[in-house]
Chains A and B, each alone.
Chain A
Amino acid sequence: MAARQQLQTGTVLDGFTIGEKIHSGGMASLWRVTKSGIDIPIVMKVPTILDGEDATIIVGFEMEAMILPRLSGVHVPKCLAVKSIAEQPYVVMEYIQGTNLLKLLDEAPLAPARLAQIGAKIAAALVDLHRQNVLHLDIKPSNIMLREIGEAALIDFGLSRHLQLPDLLEEEFNVPMGTGPYISPEQVLHNRTDPRSDIFSLGVLLYHFATKVRPWGIPKFNRSLRERLWRDPVPPRKLNPAVPPWLQEIILRCLEPQAANRYPTAAQLLFDLQHPDEVRLTERAERMAASGFWTTMRRRFRSAAMDNEQVQQIEERTVTTAPIVLAAVDLSEGMEQLAVALRREAARVLHFVPGARLACVNVLKLNRIGLNYSRDEQGRNIHVTRLVELKEWARPLGLGAGEVTFHVLESPDPGAALIDFAKSNNVDQILICARGNSNLRRYLGSISSKVVAEAPCTVTVVRLPASANEIIEELDTLEQIGMP
């Protein structure tokens, strides 16, 4: 192993000029650095390796050095350079300007709307991370930065897992890897392959911010980590009556000991955090006490039988299961047949994908100029009328309350409104109708062609078969306007 350089302010290492030391901890120290040609603030993270070569620190460093360069986007620090453990080990990354979430804990309990907003930002970061096949596995306030531009960024990937790369931590430790108060039941049982583990930890964080109390306190021994396998947390509303039922529903669903009972994806959690009115309330929402003694004991007994082997057998999940499907429902006159075809397509998609969630969206087109009336000629509230019609459209699908949501958007540009909704809610697939098989519309631009061109996801265009007459008519029109 090459001799390691003693770092100090002013040293130049591989072109990086070392500046001020901004953090010195048991695992790593952080130095501000600069390099010509790099115009964003950057830091060098150097693992604290003592003579004993602590395996935890080395492997944590290697994990981060392996994963960080493979990540991109606003939800992670940009990685600029990595040097391996065989030489002078370091990672150079973007210095994220903003607020560490730990600082906000002093303000807990946060107002529900504000907490949902922050939770949504973290969930959005998880969606982006999971999309890149990476699980963070150490979600906690100190590992989350709120950027000045508003997005949440996740830091410290020392315990993370890239699902397509070897897990360097797999054989390393007999103890569960994570942070005591936040660690998921799967991690307690040594399973590091489930994206829903991050959802659990985010649930702990939301609970803490909502009540100022940690659901299972700060576990002192490894064996007390198992408590979360069988003991319900005290319902947040019991600790803080200001927590609304929808927020308790979200938090307790994240904290379900069985991953299968949690939100299947971070995108679905994000969806609920962004649409409190659409949260399906269950018994969790109204719960005012943790389970009784006998139920708890029964669970405890059962949890003793859950061992590593069993959990390891859980199939590795691909992160795109349980998608959010958006049906863009046009309710205008003359579109009845297409609306039926759209519903048939929706039924088909939902039938083949378990856990899918349907968002039925209708756009109320506003005039760009002039007055917009919120009531029709009969004086009915147009928004409410549309909602009722949407529900009526979806009724034959026979979906349960947690499987379908309804949204009436208002915009002068329906295509843009649909694309925005798909982006902000991480929609996986859009189902949309095209009026006839019209080249004319393709030239002049229709809503569906705009959506197809600009949507961030798969788009399925539903059409009715064109009749011969329609095609001739269309050709005539094209000729008239000089588009052969």
Chain B
Amino acid sequence: MRIGFLSDIHGNREALDACLAQAERQRVDRFVILGDLVGYGADPVYVLDKVMELHEKQDAIVLLGNHDAAAITGSIEGMNQYAREAILWTHDALDTAQIGFLKTLKSSFEEDDRLYVHSDATAPDQWRYVTDVASAERSLRATLKRLTFCGHVHRPQLYHMAPMKPAVAFKPQTGTPIPLMGNRKWLAVQGAVGQPRDENPAASWGVFDTDQNEFTYLRVSYDIESAAGKIHAAHLPQILAARLYIGR
């Protein structure tokens, strides 16, 4: 089975559609959506409808992210100024059915030898970042599962850790299938679909092939012009549109 991993869509309709179109070419059977469906982008309604459809029709697993949790209540504690503005706007834009769907989401999910989680697995509801080998090691030690898939940092990165050894980081190349060899744990941090921050503006996602035991990081370009234009039109902070162009 080929599982497509989408994380940090952040209300970016154009980026999501581009990833879904590429996923079809990549013969993806099923999706795992690692949270932060909304926040920042101007299309939370479309994104949520699309994700709910994937959940119902294709059995997609959907996880809660910190922006989703904030959008449910409109609570903006601990967020930066731009994220706050976007969350308040998003909260107003969503209807009760959409808020209701967000309320059903869990912050982590285990399946076979895999753990799906939005952020650091040590405390999924605390939204800690996995940004380096130390935080990756902390997260890897918190689970018995061989493979962890998370998002939250908007930069694709792979970590692996052999028994009794420290974690090691690996910078993956787009499009190269990486065998996740047996006798160690792996943590595949996904880049962001809707707001990449690794200086590459293309939407970032990945595919795990359970038969081959291989993970592939992928990138796809999308209509940034439209996505940014809608952010302006919605009077959301301009910087949220500008950063899409530079991927930062």
Contact = CB atoms under 8 A, between A and B. Distances in A.
Given A59-B162, A164-B173, A170 B168 contact: yes
A86 B213 CA distance: 13
A172 interface: yes
B173 A84 contact: no
B235 interface: no
Contacts of A58: 183
A164 B176 CA distance: 7
Interface string A37-81: 000000000000000000100110010011000000000000000
Contacts of B178: 165-166
B162 A86 contact: no
Interface residues on B, range: 10 to 19
Interface residues of A, number: 17
Contacts of A172: 162, 165
A168 B168 CA distance: 9
Nearest to B160: A166
Interface string A151-194: 00000000000001111101110000000000000000000000
Contacts of A66: 179, 181
A341 to B, nearest CB: 38
Contacts of B78: none
B141 interface: no
Given A55-B162, A171-B162, A172-B162, A165 B182 contact: no
A65 B180 CA distance: 11
Interface string B159-200: 011101111101001001011011110000000000000000
Contact of B182 (A55, A85, A164): A85
B182 A84 contact: yes
A282 B14 CA distance: 61
A84 B179 CA distance: 11
Given A165-B176, A166-B158, A171 B183 contact: no
Interface string A81-103: 00011100000000000000000
Contacts of B179: 66, 165
Nearest to A86: B182
A170 B160 CA distance: 10
Q: State the main secondary structure of chain B at its contact with A.
A: loop
B140 to A, nearest CB: 13
A79 to B, nearest CB: 13
A32 to B, nearest CB: 26
Contacts of B162: 55, 59, 168, 171-172
A245 to B, nearest CB: 43
Given A164-B173, A164-B176, A171 B182 contact: no
A164 to B, nearest CB: 5
A267 to B, nearest CB: 23
A168 B160 contact: yes
Interface string B139-166: 0000000000000000000101110111
B182 A168 contact: no
Nearest to A84: B182
A131 B206 CA distance: 26
Interface in B36-82: none
- Residue among B170, B176, B181, B184 with the highest chain A CB neighbour number at 10 A: B181
A59 B160 CA distance: 13
Interface in B201-221: 213
A267 B170 CA distance: 29
Contact of A65 (B164, B168, B170, B181): B181
Nearest to B166: A171
A302 B181 CA distance: 40
B6 to A, nearest CB: 23
Most chain A beta carbons < 10 A, residue from B158, B168, B179: B179
A373 B168 CA distance: 67
12 contacts: A84-B181, A84-B182, A86-B182, A86-B183, A164-B176, A165-B176, A166-B168, A168-B181, A168-B184, A171-B162, A171-B167, A172-B162
Given A65-B181, A86-B182, A165-B179, 6 more contacts: A59-B183, A66-B181, A86-B183, A165-B170, A166-B160, A167-B168
Q: List the 4 shortest-distance A-B pairs measured between CB atoms, nearest first.
A: A166-B170, A84-B182, A171-B168, A62-B181
